Copies of this chain bind each other. A is one copy, B any other.
Amino acid sequence: MTTAIAELAEERVVEGIYAVARKRRLRTRGGSPYLALELVDASGRIEGRVWNDVELLDGRFAEGDAVRVLGRVERFRDRLQLEVRSLEPAGDVDPGALAPAARSDLGELDGFLDFLAGELAHPGLRATVARVLDDAEVRGLMRTLPATPDGHHGYAGGLLQHTVGVATICHETAQLHPRLRRDLLLAAALLHDVGRTRELSPGPTFAPTAEGSLLGHVHLGVRLVDERSAALEPELRAELLHAIASHHDPRAARTAEAAVLYHANQLDAVAATRPTNE
């Protein structure tokens, strides 16, 4: 019976089916080769070490594969680590299904996203957002990709959850501050991280694509929205693209909406990651 990674406890021997998110072949200072793995399943991540039969085992699986593992959980530098005793490929298991997943209900989040998009009154912004978020491929990727590969919301569906979070905060802020152009702000919030769908590849590795690592999600998002907003009035289109383009750079923001988006993004990221008590 397989044990979920989130339930692994120190000093216990466990068996499980996990996906290999990272694999590196290293040597100890004493010269012996070993494998350093990052193992994942829907419940979380754990470091793994293979000390024996390295040559043999290394040939049997690659990054991104699902594997059946028997090992013992140890504590190393305040973190749990799995000392692998035996390991074999689990060819019958879909490794994508083993990517770390959101604890929230993705269906509910999808509903929130639709609700927020439905709040848009401006026909052009509403249509532009629809051309992106009603695209089944984009929408599917939002349910399977993280918001960041190894930071906040770093699990499948994190992209959807973070998008809902930022858009909700922006929606609330627009109600508190009627001077803000609500529809511009909300549309920018709903689309701000859509470039992640072009930057990252599917789980369990979520590795950046070649294009993704060179161009980054900000530029890729601007490009994607640019392609689908030709029908918008030019000035509003430039404002929408501007808010997306500057959502990681507060000094570049030239409108209140762009600056608010920057801070809402920071707020949601910090709320998801900072320890509640260090």
Contact = CB atoms under 8 A, between A and B. Distances in A.
Interface of A: 24-31, 33-34, 49, 51, 74-78, 81, 83, 164-165, 168-169, 172-173, 176-177, 179-181, 210-211, 213-216, 219, 222-223, 226, 234-235, 238-239, 241-242, 245, 252-257, 259-260, 263-264, 266-268, 270-278
A76 B271 contact: no
B31 A29 contact: no
A239 B210 CA distance: 9
Contacts of A33: 74
Given A26-B77, A31-B51, A173-B268, A256 B242 contact: no
Contacts of A164: 176
Contacts of A241: 214-215, 219
A255 B278 contact: yes
A253 B51 CA distance: 38
A176 B31 CA distance: 40
Contacts of A30: 28, 30, 51
A194 to B, nearest CB: 16
A51 B29 CA distance: 9
Contact of A271 (B24, B173, B214): B173
Contact of A214 (B77, B165, B239, B270): B239
Contacts of A169: 169, 172-173, 176, 267
Contacts of A270: 256, 259-260, 263
- Per CB-CB distance, the 10 closest pairs between chain A and chain B, nearest first, are A256-B274, A263-B267, A214-B242, A214-B238, A177-B271, A211-B238, A256-B276, A259-B274, A259-B270, A254-B278
A274 B253 CA distance: 10
Given A176-B268, A256-B271, A274-B253, A238 B226 contact: no
A247 to B, nearest CB: 13
A177 B278 contact: no
Contacts of A51: 30-31
Nearest to A253: B274
Contacts of A216: 252
Contacts of A219: 219, 222, 241, 245
Contact of A210 (B27, B165, B238): B238
B238 A180 contact: no
Nearest to A34: B29
A276 B181 contact: yes
